[in-house]
Each structure stands twice: as C-alpha cells, then as structure tokens.
Chains A and B, each alone.
Chain A
C-alpha cells in the first residue's frame, strides 16, 4: 500500500506540473486548440500512441488474447500498419496540409469546410458529442473498478477523483497540457509493458519455448469454445466458424480499421509544422504500439502458460470467465507488490491520456463546431477558448453520469460501439475529402448519415454483442438478434462502411461538385 500511495502521488505531481506547463505556454486560440501547430515529433508520437492505447487495450484486449490466443497478433499488425503507417502517410499528411489551407481547427470543421457544408460539420460534431462520452466513461469505469478492488475506495469516489484531475489539466492546459501529460503517461506505459513482456517470456523459458508450451495447452480449451471454432492458443479459429467471424471482423478489423475515423487522433496531424515531423514521428509511434498493444496481446496469451504451470488451470478458469480480470490477476499473482503498484499507475496513465484527449475533442466540438457554426454562423471569436472550457465541463459531466449508470462489464462493449460508429460514419467522407476533388456536398451528407444509421441499426438489431446488451431487439421483436450465424457475429463496420462508401460515390456522380474556389483552397498545398 505504501508503494502504491508513493507512486500515485509522484505520478500525479508530475502530471499536474506538466498540465501547468501547458497552461503557461498557452496564449492564443491556436495554442489552445492545436498546440500552436508546432509540436515535436517525439511528443506527438508518444501522445498519439497513449491516446490510441487506453486501459481497454491493455486490460480488455490483453484479456481477450488470453481467450483467443496469438490470433490477436493480427490486430497488433493492423494497429501498426493502419493505425500508424496508413493513418500518418495516407491520411495524416493531407489532413495537416488541408486543415492549414482551410484554417480548420477540429475534425468536423475540416470536413465541413472541405465540403462547404455546415450540416456536415454540425452533424459530425453531434455524433462525437453524443457517443464519445460513452467511450470516455468506459475507459474511466475500467480504471475506477481496479482502484475499487485494490485500494478499497468506493467506485464513485475513485471515478470522480480521476475525472476531476483529468478535467483540471485539460480545461486549463488546452491541447498543450494534453500533449505534455500524455507524452509522460506514454513513457510510463512503454517502460512497464516492456518489463512485463521480457519477464513473461523469460519465465516461460524464452520466445520459442513459451510458444511451444502454449501450443501444448490446446487440449485444455473449454468444449464450448472448441464447438464455436477455437483450435488452440497458437492457431487462428477454424475458417468460417462463428468464432472466426467474431475474432476477424469485430476484434481485428473493427478496431484495427475503425481507428482512422477517430477524431481525437486525427487532430494530432494538425498539430505538426511540416510533413518532416510526421515522417519522423512514424517510427516512434510504431515502436510505441508494438511495446504497448503488441506486448499486451503476447502477454495476454502467455498468461495461460504461467497459470497452468503454477495453478494447473487456464487463465479464463482462474477468473471464472471474466476476461477483464486476467491481466490484473496475472500481475498480482506473479509480480512483487511494488510492481503491482507501478502497474496500477500505468493503467491510470493509459486511462487519463486517452480521456484527456477525448475531453479536449468534445470541448472543441461544442465551441468551434456547434457554438461558432450554429450560433455565430461561422464567425471566429476570442471567447472560443472560454466556450471550449465550458464544453469540456459539459462533456466531463456527461461522462460522469454515464459512468455511474453504465452496467458492469460494459467497458469493451462501449469501446467497440464508438469505434464502429465513428469508423462507419467518418471514414468515407474523410478519405474522399483528401483524395477526390469530385466528391460533393450532397455525397458527404448522404454518406455520413447512411454510415451512421446503418451502423447503429446493425448494432441495435443484428450484431449479437450490442443487440443483447442494448436489449431493444428483444423489446421490439422478442429475439436477442434478428440475424442468424454468421451474420450476428459480423461487426457493424464491416456492413456499414461499404454502404457509406458506395453511397458517397453514387451520390457524388449524380450531384453538383463543390464550388471551384473551395476545392482550389482545400488542395492548395497538395
């Protein structure tokens, strides 16, 4: 306990200090919204990585790896190739240039100005404002539950304390405060994950022996999992089985591709001065993702070897089926108390870095996209910073309410819901905004609305996970889901993203292009 309190105090002192540095260095609106567009590539890389990788990636997906094994390495691959390389090179460079040409300070503003449409900006901001608090609440709920277990602090108190600390440095420090603190939080994350990765492989006898030991545990896989397609922890599920559809479409593709549509990450590209900084940030970010999610997935799968060698059971059996408890239990059982304390601080860092960026994005959506667009008809004013702060307070309040009413076990569900929804809603309009001059205002509107609606409908009535959780399908039709296998296992994004893409192209080809001068301005530096 003494270790834990010492580490937490040290961590919070440094975090608050960095938030204060961000506050002192923030003098202009651009500083507050985009950190003055002159962020160092390493700061950007650490901040992007730690915003991308939250508690749910380490705890939620680490636990999922203990269940489905090394097939989750494909998600680590997509996290790096799509979440870093494609995001930076294909989307990031043009996003930076176009946002500069159009003087866009938020993701909805970029889309709105590119398509010359206040509806596109307002609707995008509304989707973010309504659904992002759900994701923020899920992350914060995850960490508050751990504090509840380890420190015996009531859940609501822990939740409120984290919320208030994060709120302080986001409200006063702006994006600079967010970037500095999340870079520090990122450093803690990679140091701890590296230590866990090395010790886990060493304890299992080295890389290849560890994998072999895990392969030999295949006969112990529970019968229900084998029936749905599980073929052991070092093999992909049987091709075409319900488990294959679930692992590949929801776990690997849903999260791996959905990252492109995440507004709190896209805004990072706008903070850099030139493409050179983006190029330099790529290797650092890729290493960060490998050392965080890559190791979390490897360790998650290998927890089975450690639990079997010491307790003669699989990880999932040790936690009575609750995958979220696998990684914490593994750390508690196999590491000394001071390390457990450090791990808890790492989780706090992961949660707070992701949350701070989300609150900042939510605040700017309310001020820049709703307040300035709807109330001031696009006029930029000095009061934007004050309205952003009010917006952040509003989003924190929404997160607080949601966190207190969300049922237990909804962390992974809420995360997947937001990733799917924002991916389907934003990716087509975003991609074509950067690459296709012929893309029209009507197409952007139709694509965003169709992607959002089809994704939501699939979640509510067809995709088993969310449909069961939300319960609307049962209430209206008396069935958990309206689709049979394998459809009920297919991620909403796999259905909604192609629909939104087709709608965009079809509507673009049959409607009037965006004004010539808007296009010329948008592509001026491209």
Chain B
C-alpha cells in the first residue's frame, strides 16, 4: 500500500498526515472558543499592572 512494504509504516504515514488534518479541524472548530475568563481575572490584571508600575519606578 502506498508503495510501502509494511502495514505499520503505512499506518505511521497516514497517522502523521491525519494528525495534521485533525489539528486543522480542531483549530477551525475552536477558533472562537476560550476568550471568556472566569470572574476575578481582571483583578489579577490590575494587580500585575500595579506591580509592574512599582518595579519600573524602582528601576535605577
């Protein structure tokens, strides 16, 4: 099959191409998912910003 002598190599070849297709489909299906963060996230952003500003002010 496909010019190969062993079914395991055929499977490895097809699995490699199939895994890329799978990742492509996953990326397309989920391209808009995952933007929503749970409550409380913005507070961390504010804390980080404060820490960063503090550190920049302390820079020599």
Q: How far is the CA of A276 from the CA of B32 in the complex (A)?
A: 6
Of the listed residues B3, B28, B38, the one surrounded by the most CB atoms of chain A closer than 10 A to its CB is B3
Give the size of the chain B interface in residues (CB under 8 angstroms).
38
Name the interface residues of A23-41: CB closer than 8 Å to any CB of B.
27-30
The complex places the Cα of A113 from the Cα of B17 at a distance, in Å, of 39
Q: In the complex the two chains form, is B23's CB within 8 Å of A77's CB?
A: no
List which A218-247 residues lie within 8 A (CB) of chain B.
218, 231-232, 234-236
Q: Output the least CB separation between B41 and chain A (Å).
A: 6
CB–CB B59/A382 < 8 A: yes
Give which listed residue, B20, B31, B40, contacts A80 with CB less than 8 A: B20
Interface string of B1-15 (1 = CB under 8 A from A): 011111011001101
Of the candidates B3, B13, B27, B59, which one forms a contact with A280 in the assembled complex, judged by CB atoms under 8 Å apart?
B27
Q: Is the CB of A212 within 8 A of B3?
A: yes
Q: Which residue of A lies closest to B26 (CB)?
A: A282
A479 on interface, CB distance cutoff 8 Å: no
Question: Do A283 and B3 touch (CB < 8 A)?
Answer: no
> Which of B2, B37, B51, B56 is in CB contact (< 8 Å) with A211?
B2
Selected contact of A215 from candidates B3, B15, B59, CB within 8 Å: B3
A residues near B13, Cβ cutoff 8 Å: 70, 73
When distances are taken between beta carbons in the complex, the residues of chain A under 8 Å from B58 are: 381-382
Contact between B52 and A28 (Cβ–Cβ < 8 Å)?
yes
- In contact, A286 and B34 (Cβ under 8 angstroms): no
Contacts of B30 in A (CB 8 A): 276, 279
- The 10 nearest A-B residue pairs measured at CB: A275-B34, A211-B3, A286-B23, A283-B27, A235-B6, A73-B12, A279-B30, A212-B3, A276-B34, A234-B4
Q: How distant is A309 from chain B, measured CB to nearest CB, in Å?
A: 16
Question: Which of A151-159, A202-210, A428-436 forms contacts with chain B?
Answer: A202-210
16 contacts between A and B (CB under 8 A): A30-B52, A69-B9, A70-B12, A71-B8, A71-B9, A73-B16, A101-B44, A103-B44, A209-B3, A210-B3, A211-B2, A234-B6, A235-B6, A275-B34, A286-B19, A286-B23
Instruction: Please name 12 further chain A to chain B contacts, defined as beta carbons within 8 Å, in addition to the given A85-B22, A290-B17, sorted by A numbering.
Output: A70-B12, A71-B12, A81-B19, A208-B2, A212-B3, A231-B6, A275-B35, A277-B34, A279-B33, A283-B27, A283-B28, A524-B38
The reply to whether A77 and B19 contact each other, CB–CB distance below 8 Å, is yes
Residue with the greatest number of chain B CB neighbours at <10 A, chosen from A93, A231, A276:
A276
Complex Cα–Cα for A77 and B22 (A): 12
* In the complex, chain A residues whose CB is within 8 Å of the CB of B19: 77, 80-81, 85, 286
Q: Mark A346-387, 1 if CB is under 8 A from B, else 0.
A: 000000000000000000000000000000000011100000
Chain B neighbourhood of A30, CB < 8 A: 48, 52
Query: Is B12 within 8 A of A77, CB to CB?
Result: yes
Q: If the complex has contacts A85-B26, A235-B6, A290-B16, are A274 and B55 also in contact, measured as CB distance less than 8 A?
A: no
Q: Is A254 in the interface zone, CB < 8 Å from B?
A: no
Q: What count of chain A residues pass the 8 Å CB interface test?
A: 55
From residue 96 to 131 of chain A, which have CB atoms closer than 8 A to chain B?
100-101, 103
Is A84 interfacial (CB-CB < 8 Å)? yes
Which chain A positions have C-beta within 8 A of B24? Answer: 283, 286-287
Distance A103 CA – B9 CA, assembled complex (angstroms): 45
Find out whether the CB atom of B26 lies under 8 angstroms from the CB atom of A279.
Answer: yes
Give complex CA distance A28, B58 in Å.
Answer: 12
Q: Which of B13, B15, B28, B51 has the most CB of A within 10 A?
A: B13
CB–CB A234/B9 < 8 A: yes
Q: Which residue of A lies closest to B32 (CB)?
A: A276
Q: Is the CB of B4 within 8 A of A381?
A: no
Confirm or deny: A278 has a beta carbon within 8 angstroms of a beta carbon on chain B: yes
Instruction: Report Cα–Cα, A76/B51, bound state, in Å.
Output: 43
- A62 interfacial contact with B, CB 8 Å: no
Q: Is the CB of A275 within 8 A of B23?
A: no
The CA-CA distance from A211 to B51 in the complex, in Å, is: 59
Evaluate contact between B27 and A282: CB separation under 8 angstroms.
yes
Q: How far is the CB of B54 from chain A (nearest CB, A)?
A: 8
Report chain A residues within 8 Å CB of B26.
Answer: 85, 89, 279, 282-283
